[in-house]
Structure 1
Amino acid sequence: MFIDKVLTAIFGTQNDRDVKALMPILAAVNAKEEWAKSLKPEEFPEQTKKFKERLAAGETLDDILPEAFALCREASWRVIGERPFDVQIMGSINLHQGKITEMKTGEGKTLVAVAPAYLNALTGKGVHVVTVNDYLAERDANSRRPIFEYLGLTVGSILSSMDNDTRKANYACDVTYGTNNEFGFDYLRDNMKVDLKDKVQRGFNYCIVDEIDSIFIDEARTPLIISGAGEDDTYKYHEVDKYVGELKEVAKDPKTGEYPDETFMTPEERAAIEGDYTIDEKSKRVSFTDKGMLHINDILHKHNLITGSLEDEENFEYTHYFTQALRAHLLFHNDVDYLIRDGKVEIIDEFTGRVLEGRRYSDGLHQAIEAKEHIRIAQRNRTMATVTFQNFFRMYDKLSGMTGTAATEAVEFNKIYGLDVVAIPTNLPVARKDENDEVYLNEKEKWEAIANEIKEAHEKGQPVLVGTVSVEKSELLSALLTRKGIRHEVLNAKNHAREAMIIAEAGAKGAVTIATNMAGRGTDIKLGGNPEFRARKRAGTNATEEQYKAALEIEKENWKKDYEEVKALGGLYVIGTERHESRRIDNQLRGRSGRQGDPGRSKFYISMDDDLMRLFGGERMKAMMSRIGMQPGEPIDHPWLNKGIEKAQQKVEDRNFEIRKHLLDYDDVLNEQRTVIYNQRDTILGDDKLSERVMNNAKEEVENLFENYEYEAKHNKNSNAPLLELQEKIRNTFAIQLPSDGYTKEAVIAALQNDITEKETLAGRENFNMFIRYQYIQMIDKKWLDQLETLEGLREAVALRSYGSKNPLTEYKIDGFNIFDEMLDTIRNSVMSRVFRVRVQLSPEAAEQRRRMLEAQQQGMNAQHNEAGNTAAQMAQNTAERSAHSNFNGDQARRQAVNSAMNQRSQGDNVTVRRTMPKVGRNDPCPCGSGKKYKQCCGR
């Protein structure tokens, strides 16, 4: 520790060295500024073309960085009147280098992303800029589009309301803005398409993630899932919810406040525990006692919900239903974890306070909550495709991001994503005053103190922003302020539609804004209010651009006065009503105040009843506070207490990191399999010679069958059983019949080749290829769904192997990949067998054309081999393809026609492929009249 301090004193911190390394590049950019200023407007897109030519000639992005950044800076100044400061250019360089840029709130991170996006877009491979919601994606794309267009690049944005064609057009742009959810879901949807032309994304080149800590850490525990309808078991959730209230919690020890420790109990002692279940609030888990399981069994029998025992395979799922019902009632609360809107349960993001549109709790929990709230239960869904944000974003060739708070999670960013964090200095010193926390004995006293503090600040005109952790707490404080006669705005998941208006005026004189964590992301609170917003309001919705500009000039003058007045009052006062589990969320809230050198103030109010203090401090800390003389209504305010709370938060962060790391270790197994499946799927969609793939698989299978036969024949020399078994397997697998003495490896392969060639001729090469493709895609998608469910079940099963001194993760990897290999074999063999067993039936018109083709071929037998024979063969091919093609006019009609033409049926031992012409033996004279054997001529 001492040596570290000495080295830091001599050489500076790692961050100091990282910032110092940016200075020479910044100097090179500044040296090109006069050159950029000298360019005419029409020269900017021309310069972009020159950059692209230089890259094509072998130069690197680093070679052209100084000129490109200088050009981008000048374009920004000319188009929107904003010239990036040197610290913003440093942040841009850091982003280009594939690192995380930490910049304080108000330092202009949206503008920082423009230069690296422009530079990396010059490669022509596209750049994705990720934001946390649709509003910010559209806002940032529209506000930065003029800069990119001035430089000669195109800009798109991906919104949840867009259709497939619009998405594809926006992804084709040089720079594309969108949310993490939309980019991730588009990736999953693309890999469910049955035509490569329908895919919207074009690869993963370079990505800049705004508010990277929110997306990579806060949302990392929730995977993206595309679901389809599964088993309808909604009635079971209703039934269980009726009787879950009959279960009782295990009594806690009055001294320790803990449940009885069952670790070293005998079965008899465990059976004697009074109560049915225990609750773990930290992990949000419910566990049943032995007596609880018996009680559930009695309840189910009493109400005739099951027959037999709860332990029977068909009944054991009821344990799961009771578990989720208890979790719904005891651990998930309305207006805290979710809210009810339009008859639906909508999840609230605990980190942002926003509604997670379209998200549902997994594993039946969402249905249990719907049953608890007595609203319509949606049918349980089956996972069709899933990916975690960690594995999705690790697909990009280069990844970077920016946020106001990343340093506290630097270790996780480095371990999971290989990203380093560099804190960029502020343009002006931070003038905000961060006060010590005030700690109260109970929650009621805390809320009263907060209300009084808000009233005092409001009366003198200082704007106040109050951060709460849930919708419930924001409405509680709102009611308290209403009783005190204090005008205020509430911003939470219930009225997020007014977010822009509320935030725009949060810095106005005398404004009081109560907000959940949603106010802490991507928003800009200006002291004195927002002149642009007020100008829009003054001019009216139907105002012309000239009317708006006139109104803006008036509002700017008014704003200057308000700004100076609010600044004199101390700036924006941020009050935190509770410490969050993560220090980053608290820092985000604090960061709303003191932007660009403005004054500000922040303070957190805490009670011993708060979730963080209660779960990680416990009743002991509250009792200790009382013993040392802490009186009701008297707060404690001391720097040591702040450090203690920070250490508690750090412990929670470390614990959450381990949970995310653990989840990722398991998901990495799924990710490798998903990558293989999706790559194979794309290969098949783009392959126009799938019959060759099927034939190669058939050859491998024949080789295996004959290897097994030879081995069995060697060990059973006096038995005919191995040969009979071989013949049966060949008939069952390929539906071909050979003479009893003709079962040689070469003969089987030749017969299969002849079979597949004839089918391709009859159906037409393109139609036959489409049929095989459809079979492959159908089988891959079906088996992949089964694999997702199998891996989910396997993960739960391997956890028990730890009791056998085995590593569950290692066991999961071994079993998971064994199952995956079996799945690939099943897909390959099933499609191969189906293609050979299919029967091609021609329509009457096609059959007539086929007859004419044979007549033409017969006439060609008397002509010379090199002329007439080849012409007839070509005619046969072209006529057959025309006859089949005449019925296929469009993708949908084509698929239906292929499916009807190639009727698949289950065939027994005696079924053979029907031919429309006599079979020609390999050693027979070739029908073309060449005089050669068939196998050496047209049958080659």
Structure 2
Amino acid sequence: MLSKTRIAPPAERILRPYPQRAVPRMNWTDRSLRALRGRLAAAGPRRLRHRRRIDRVYRLLDAAAGLSPADLRARADEIRRAIAADGLRPDHLDAAIAVVAAAAMHERDMRPRPVQVSGAILLLRGTMLEMATGEGKTFTAALAAGAAALAGMRPHVATVNDYLAARDAETARPLFSRLGLTLGLVTGDTAPEARPAQYACDVLYANNTEIAFDYLKDVVAMGPVRSHARRLLRRAIGAPGARPPARTILGGLHFVIVDEADGVLADEASTPLIISASEDAPPDPAPYVAALRLARGLVDETHWFIEAQSRRVRLTGEGRATLGERARPLGGLWQVAAAREERVRQALQALHLYQRDRDYILGTDPEDGTPKVVIVDEATGRPMPDRSWEGGLHQCIEVKEGLPPTALRVTIARITYQRFYRQYLRMSGMTGTGQEIAAEMRSFFDLATVAVPPHRRSRRRFLGVRLCATAPAKYEAIVASTREMVARGRPVLIGTRTVAASEAVAAALTRAGIGHTVLNARQDADEAALVADAGRSGAVTVATNMAGRGTDIVPDAAARAAGGLHVILTEHHESRRVDRQLYGRSGRQDDPGSCEDIVARDDPLYLRFAPLVSRLAQGLPGPLAARLLRRAMQARAESQSAASRRQQFEAERDVARLSAIASPEHG
């Protein structure tokens, strides 16, 4: 049952400000200096930080652990008053962490480990925390969120999906309740009228997408004048724009802890979150059909090419001339160069940059059962049925697939995660893989990345790399390795990049008579249950990147005795972080485990990002060639992704600046 709390009456809400941070305007020098600080921070030794503060937390915890429930709540109230009087002093925050930990001992007999106390201290400071998988990020976040709530910081704990938000909230609820703190939960199923009450709680757990969209709804409702002081001034002089809505949803952006922060703040950073409305009728498919026909008649590298850094299609001079000649019989807007070139560029992107079973799948509309294009999230492999591409691209892909185009959508409000999270007064993040993006986190979010060492050294063994000549040879090697591990009684997790690749591996296993489960965008109905079952002795699971981040694969007793979970990486990803995340599925929490790479020389990513190294590596031994291919490909891919995010950030900043100049608030 969701927590209930008092909602201020409309008149009171009108006079209440909406706390959020103005996004600072930074030049190239500012970002470079931040990035340099991030690199220096990321290069530091991995050691347990803040020993003195950790010791103080444990002393205070030992003193609080024996308190009665009434005395523990009184101690929490005492800490609240001390912070209200003195501010966020380290000794007060340490006392707050200790009292939350004492509540955990009372309710769940959970005593935090030093890495978890250290992590809570770092989160309260505003840090990107790298914590190895299985080290207890959920409990660490609860310690920090509870302490922040006692400090009056109104923390939001943002997770990557509804399941994790609900799971983590139910874990933390008894702890917070014992201290007199209320906990709110917002998921996709939370009714609009119930949301303000949840956000008004002392702590909120929610899917990060839900928080961002609720913020956008507040932006739309409040209009252009969002400054509380400006509203009061306009009210005093009788100017328009003086009265805000009677009730906002969030009530402000105070403090956020972003779970799986590397995925949200890097991989998903530039994804636009859009509130839109459909036009009255679907568009005429004829222009899309014509654009696709013309695009199919153009020759790669002669008439068009793909710009590597931006992953956009560009027409050559010869391509523009050829297009103008071939479009002459069509009439209308096809005679306007800018219009026809944009339509055909879009069609070329639909044909060559967006592939079925990689970037999207053909799903089913739950309302009428008709086929529909469903976007697949590139970073997680999850289906995103509520998302659509902008500017007619989605409709072009629908026509390419033989579907009628859906109605175009008109944008009402939009924001990216990158800009949204920068507006919190204080933010921090947690991830198992943060060192690779430390400089970027410092540059864009002013977050230092700090790695805390594991409670126990990982027992996971890396069994090496097998580089096969072709994809069919790779599938044979995967089948052989899987059969060997299953014969030993070990569970196997086989990781792939795309839906198509997961189904190719599944087909090879089926031909070999090896039972298995597939987890991808087409078969994701009960992801948590499938991932949890993947630790059963002899179980074989084939999964895309969506393999249950945040959900432990727990080997059963027979599996642990046989050597634990074995992970097979079948394709290197564009980011080293994603590879590390897959390896991290095994060898958790002192369990044994192993991993290996079985990849092919003809992998499209090698050919796309490292064509020269692909040619040079032909005569090299397999392990050396694989290492060179992986490093070259990932270095270039990560560099291009970071550059793309930087360009997106600068473009969004420029648009926001122009909007601010045109806004009545700035007039």
User: Normalized against structure 2, the TM-score is what?
Assistant: 0.85
Q: 2: CA distance between counterparts of 1:606 and 1:18?
A: 31
State whether structure 2 residue 354 is matched by structure 1 residue 329.
no
Task: Identify which of 415, 430, 433 aligns with 2:443.
Answer: 415
CA distance in 2, matches of 1:34, 1:291: 77
Q: How far does residue 436 in structure 1 lie from its aligned partner after superposition?
A: 2.6
Q: Contact 1:234–1:378 at 8 Å: present in 2 too?
A: no
1:582 Cα deviation from its structure 2 partner = 0.2
Task: Tell me how far 1:60 sits from its aligned partner.
Answer: 3.0
- Is 2:652 the partner of 1:667? yes
Distance 2:598 2:182 in 1: 48
Q: CA deviation at 1:476?
A: 1.0
* Paired letter, 1:607: A
Shift of 1:671: 3.5
Please say if 1:425 is aligned against 2:453: yes
8 Å CA contact 2:259–2:429 kept in 1: the answer is: yes
2:467 is paired with a residue whose SS is: strand
CA 216–308 in structure 1, closer or farther in 2 if over 3 Å, else same: closer
Letter of the structure 2 residue corresponding to residue 383 of structure 1? T
Letter in 2 for 1:642: R
Contact kept? 1:301, 1:307, Cα under 8 Å = no
Equivalent in the alignment of 2:7: none
Q: 2: CA distance between counterparts of 1:581 and 1:17?
A: 26
Residues 277 and 412, structure 2, Cα contact 8 Å, conserved in 1: yes
Aligned with 1:297 (options 297, 305, 324) = 324
- Contact preservation (8 Å) 2:466, 2:598: yes
Give the equivalent residue in structure 2 for 1:614: 607
Q: Does 1:129 align with 2:123?
A: no
| Aligned AA (1:614) | L
Aligned pair partner of 1:503 in 507, 531, 549: 531
Q: CA deviation at 1:81?
A: 3.0
**Residues 133 and 412 of structure 1, relative CA distance in 2, 3 Å threshold:** same
> How far off its partner does 1:282 sit?
6.3
Of 560, 567, 574, the residue aligned with 1:574 is 567
Q: Which amino acid aligns with 1:407?
A: Q
CA distance in 2, matches of 1:292, 1:38: 78
Quick check: which one's helix share is greater?
1
Q: What's the counterpart of residue 637 of structure 1?
A: 623
Instruction: Quote the offset at 1:368 in angstroms.
Output: 0.7
Mind listing any 5+ residue stretches in structure 1 that lack a counterpart? 1-11, 251-258, 260-274, 529-562, 631-635, 677-819, 829-940
Residue 589 of structure 1: aligned partner? 582
Q: Does 1:198 align with 2:226?
A: no
CA distance in 1: counterparts of 2:41 and 2:153, whole angstroms = 36
Q: Larger deviation: 167-176 or 320-329?
A: 320-329
* 1:410/1:420 contact within 8 Å kept: yes
Rounded to whole Å, the distance in 2 between the matches of 1:98 and 1:506 is: 35
Given candidates 454, 469, 482, the residue that maps to 2:510 is 482
Correspondence for 1:656 = 641
Structure 2 CA distance, aligned partners of 1:607 and 1:348? Answer: 24
Which deviations, in whole Å up to 9, do the C-alpha atoms of 1:612-643 show, x marking residues without a partner? 2111222x5444444x277xxxxx124x7425
For residue 518 of structure 1, give the secondary structure of its aligned residue in structure 2.
coil
What residue in structure 2 maps to residue 278 of structure 1?
A: 305
Equivalence for 2:256: 207
1:319 aligned partner, one-letter code? E
- 1:120-146 deviations in whole A, cap 9, x for unaligned? 112334110010011111111122111
After TM superposition, list the pairs within 5 Å mapping 1:625-774 onto structure 2.
625-626=617-618, 628=619, 636-638=622-624, 641-642=626-627, 645-672=630-657, 676=660
Q: How does 1:22-61 map to 2 (within 5 A)?
A: 22-61=50-89
Contact 2:134/2:589, CA 8 A, preserved across alignment = yes
Change (3 A) 1:198 1:25: same
- Give, in whole Å, the separation in 1 of the partners of 2:524 and 2:170: 21
| Bigger Cα Rg | 1
Secondary structure of the structure 1 residue equivalent to 2:398: helix
Q: Cα distance 1:35–1:673, how it changes in 2: closer, same or farther (>3 A)?
A: farther
Which string of whole-angstrom CA distances, capped at 9 and with x for unpartnered residues, describes residues 710-767 of structure 1? Answer: xxxxxxxxxxxxxxxxxxxxxxxxxxxxxxxxxxxxxxxxxxxxxxxxxxxxxxxxxx
**Counterpart in the other structure of 1:112:** 140
Q: Distance in 2 between matches of 1:402 and 1:621?
A: 35
Distance 1:79 1:38 in 2: 13
In structure 2, list runs of 5 or more residues that go unmatched: 1-39, 223-243, 365-370
What amino acid is aligned across from residue 342 of structure 2 in structure 1? H
Q: Distance in 2 between matches of 1:284 and 1:567?
A: 45
1:63/1:584 CA distance change after superposition, 3 Å = same
Confirm or deny: 8 A CA contact 1:234 1:379 kept in the other structure: no
**Would the alpha carbon gap of residues 280 and 438 (structure 1) be closer, same or farther in structure 2, given more than 3 Å must change?**
farther
Aligned residues of 1:491 and 1:519 also touching (Cα < 8 A): yes
- Asked if structure 1 preserves the Cα contact closer than 8 Å seen for 2:48 and 2:115, the reply is no
Q: 2:601 matched to 1:602?
A: no
Q: Does the C-alpha gap of structure 1 residues 39 and 15 become closer, same or farther in structure 2, counting only changes over 3 Å?
A: farther
CA contact (8 A) 2:359 2:376 kept: yes
Is the aligned partner of 1:224 residue 2:267? no
Structure 2: which amino acid aligns with 1:37? A
What is the deviation of 1:644?
5.1
Q: CA 1:16/1:284 → structure 2, altered by over 3 Å: closer, same or farther?
A: closer
Matched, 1:306 2:298: no
Q: Which residue identity is paired with 2:529?
A: M
**Structure of higher RCO (CA pairs closer than 8 Å, 6+ residues apart):** 2
CA change 1:469–1:399 in 2 (3 A) is same
Q: 2:417 aligns with which of 372, 385, 389?
A: 389
Q: Residues 403 and 365 (structure 1 numbering): CA distance in 2 closer, same or farther, change over 3 Å?
A: same
Contact 1:19/1:422 (CA < 8 Å) preserved in 2? no
Q: 1:65 to 1:417 in 2, by over 3 A?
A: same
The within-5 A match list for 1:836-851 is: none
Alignment partners' CA distance in 1, 2:217 and 2:284: 27
Q: CA deviation at 1:119?
A: 1.3
Matched residues in 1 for 2:306 and 2:395: separation? 20
In 2, the alpha carbon distance for the partners of 1:18 and 1:65 equals 24
Q: Whole-Å Cα distance in 2 between the matches of residues 641 and 374 of structure 1? A: 40
| One-letter code aligned to 2:631 | E
User: Partners of 1:14 and 1:318 in 2: how far apart?
Assistant: 48
Q: Deviations over 1:325-359 (max 9, x none)?
A: 12111221111100111122111111100112411
Question: Contact (CA 8 Å) 1:240, 1:325: kept in 2 or not?
Answer: no
Structure 1 distance, partners of 2:250, 2:520, is 34
Q: How does 1:425-504 map to 2 (within 5 A)?
A: 425-504=453-532
How many residues are paired up?
600
Q: 1-side partners of 2:89 and 2:390: how far apart?
A: 44
- Taking the aligned partners of 2:397 and 2:596, their CA distance within structure 1 comes to 36
2:297 aligned partner, one-letter code: L
Higher strand proportion, which one?
A: 2
Letter in 1 for 2:324: N
Aligned to 1:288: 315
Superposed displacement of residue 283, structure 1: 4.1
Counterpart CA distance in 1 for 2:46 and 2:594 is: 30
Query: Which residue in the other structure is 1:151 paired with?
Result: 179
Is 1:186 aligned to 2:214, yes or no? yes
Note the C-alpha offset of 1:376: 2.4
Residue 36 of structure 2 corresponds to none
Asked if the contact 1:15–1:423 (Cα under 8 Å) also holds between the matched residues in 2, the reply is no
CA distance in 1, matches of 2:506, 2:96: 50
Determine the C-alpha separation between the residues in 2 that align with 1:612 and 1:373.
25
8 Å CA contact 1:132–1:211 kept in 2: the answer is: yes
Report which stretch shifted further, 227-236 or 665-674.
Answer: 227-236
